[in-house]
């Protein structure tokens, strides 16, 4: 995504500057300042990062787990860049995530709806 480091799942979803910008915008959108990358503990694996995110104080656990949608969209963006040679700015990807989250909410994702 950022073309500055070798790809790994951890880098793509957690450490990449594109991913961090997106997560920062998501943190503001859902009003969870703890989700801002500047507040994240240092982790070496996606599993460790995700477990640490699920235990942040003041964060609704199940609702936050629904934000796995962000990681899905980051991965799809990565694949689009590699296989279709097309890329979206981070603010456009955020709009797509917001639309998807609303759709999931209408479909019954009640924990995600709490965040919106």
pLDDT the model gives residue 91: 97
What pTM does this model have?
A: 0.86
pLDDT the model gives residue 61: 67
The H or E element spanning position 18 is: helix 17-29
- In which residue ranges of the chain is pLDDT below 50? none
pLDDT the model gives residue 92: 97
* 99: three-class secondary structure by DSSP: helix
* 48: three-class secondary structure by DSSP: helix
How is residue 32 written in tokens? Answer: 């969870």
pLDDT the model gives residue 112: 62
pLDDT the model gives residue 35: 85
pLDDT the model gives residue 63: 64
Is residue 43 a contact partner of residue 10, using CB atoms and an 8 Å limit? Answer: yes
């Amino acid at each position: 995504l950022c073309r500055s480091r070798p790809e790994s799942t951890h880098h793509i979803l957690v450490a990449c500057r594109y991913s961090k910008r997106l997560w920062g915008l998501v943190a503001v959108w859902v009003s969870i300042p703890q989700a801002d990358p500047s507040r994240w503990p240092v982790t070496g694996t996606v599993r460790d990062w995700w477990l640490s995110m699920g235990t942040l104080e003041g964060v609704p656990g199940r609702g936050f787990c629904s934000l796995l949608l962000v990681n899905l969209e980051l991965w799809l963006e990565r694949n689009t860049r590699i296989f279709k040679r097309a890329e979206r700015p981070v603010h456009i990807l955020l709009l797509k995530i917001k639309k998807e989250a609303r759709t999931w909410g209408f479909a019954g994702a009640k924990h995600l709806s709490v965040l919106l």
